[in-house]
Amino acid sequence: MSMLTEKLKLSNGVEIPLIGLGVWQMSNDEAEKSVAYALKNGYNHIDTARTYKNEEGVGRGIKASGVKREDLFLTTKISAYSKTYDETKQDIKDSLKALETDFLDLVIIHGPRPWGKTKEDGRWFDENKDVWRALEEEYEAGTLKAIGVSNFEIDDIENLIATANVKPMINQIKYHIGSRDEELVQFCQENDMVVEAYSPIGTGKLLDNEAIKKIAEKYGKSTAQISIRYAFQKGLVVLPKSVHEEYISENAEINFEISVPDMDYLNRLVL
């Protein structure tokens, strides 16, 4: 049984489905097929980004599914390279056009720094405030139903909160068995931010992990299902990605509970 109808309220009252389909590293054609299949089979949450270069495919997949736009939660991300007010506005305009929609349910800043840059190169605190100002304007105008960030650390978030009119509602981070930042998760939750877990299967590397396999056998589930349920059971929104129809369906079938001892065991796993 799937958990696709489960939702969580953001700080502004908007409801976000707890399971979404991620489309990272998909071509436009793959995104179109995967999105159409997912939506026809119960998914109602799609997560894409400007830098994935597949928003057009996602838009076509939505149209092919026949699902009404208002029944779908659609997320995209401002490029991590877009660090000015004007670039952010242009990204939003381009995303709306590519996805063929008049509004977006969630738009997040994809990263606190341009890809390839480290903290030693700078923190981009002022630039991120400019990006956030553009997001706030579009949110206030109703074009964006919710706004947030991705890959932001505690001080990156504190920087925005210090001057924000609207606090970030989401932080989308890499989170999976063997790779998790509980201090960051706690900080976000204490600041009324929902945490989304991308790569809950560790970009595939958890699938062949013998320790997780043993737990999966115990529950009669796949290692992917155990990995996704793990993050889900922690209270996070999960964004598994697959281009294979059987796995898209299987990834949502996490209506079971991992026991406290088994969760403790998975918590202690070092990969």
Q: Say how many residues make up the chain.
A: 271
Is residue 147 within a helix (H) or strand (E), and if so which, with residue range? strand 147-150
Q: Which residue has the tokens 């998909």?
A: 26
SS percent in the chain: helix, strand, coil, step 5: 45, 15, 40
Told to judge if 247 belongs to the known catalytic residues of this protein, a careful annotator would answer no
46 CB contacts (<8 Å, ≥6 apart)?
A: 20, 21, 23, 35, 38, 39, 58, 61, 62, 72, 73, 74, 75
Spatial distance between the Cα atoms of 233 and 60, rounded to a whole number of angstroms? 33
Report the relative pairing of strands 7-9 and 106-109 from DSSP bridges.
unpaired
Which of 52, 139, 175, 230 is flagged as catalytic? 52
CA distance 126 to 130: 7
Question: In 3D, which of 179, 146, 151, 175 has the Cα closest to residue 13?
Answer: 146
Active-site residue set: 52
